[in-house]
Amino acid sequence: MLSFAFKNNAVELILNYLDTFKTKDSRLTFEALKYLSSLLCHKKFALEFIRKGGLLKMLKIPRPSISATGVSLCLYYIAYAEDAMEKVCLMSKSVLATLVT
């Protein structure tokens, strides 16, 4: 599944679906987040997602919403990967403040 995701550029596809202002469909965003959470179990994918600014896009999802539930699931899997959390901790203070509030 992971090689298929990288080969077909799943990161970019997911990043497009995470923009709720563009898609105007919170259910689609939620489904993309569920798919994302299954991929974030893999350290390589988690690092690529963070490198491409995925965490910042996730933090822009409006709260409360059904999509925000998917964000919490994804954050759980990002926290599971030590290398990914190291990259998160190196982000700016404003991003970290948004993450914990």
What pTM does this model have? 0.86
74 confidence band (pLDDT: 50, 70, 90): very high
* Whole-number pLDDT of residue 10: 86
Calpha distance 87→61 (Å, rounded): 21
Calpha distance 68→60 (Å, rounded): 10
Question: Contact 71/32 with Cβ under 8 angstroms?
Answer: no
Question: SS3 of 101, please?
Answer: coil
3-24 pLDDT per residue, tens: 777 777 888 889 999 988 888 8
DSSP string, 33-79: HHHHHHHTTSHHHHHHHHHTTHHHHHHTS-SSSHHHHHHHHHHHHHH
The arithmetic mean of pLDDT across residues 71-92, rounded, is: 91
28-64 pLDDT per residue, tens: 999 999 999 999 998 988 999 999 999 999 999 888 8
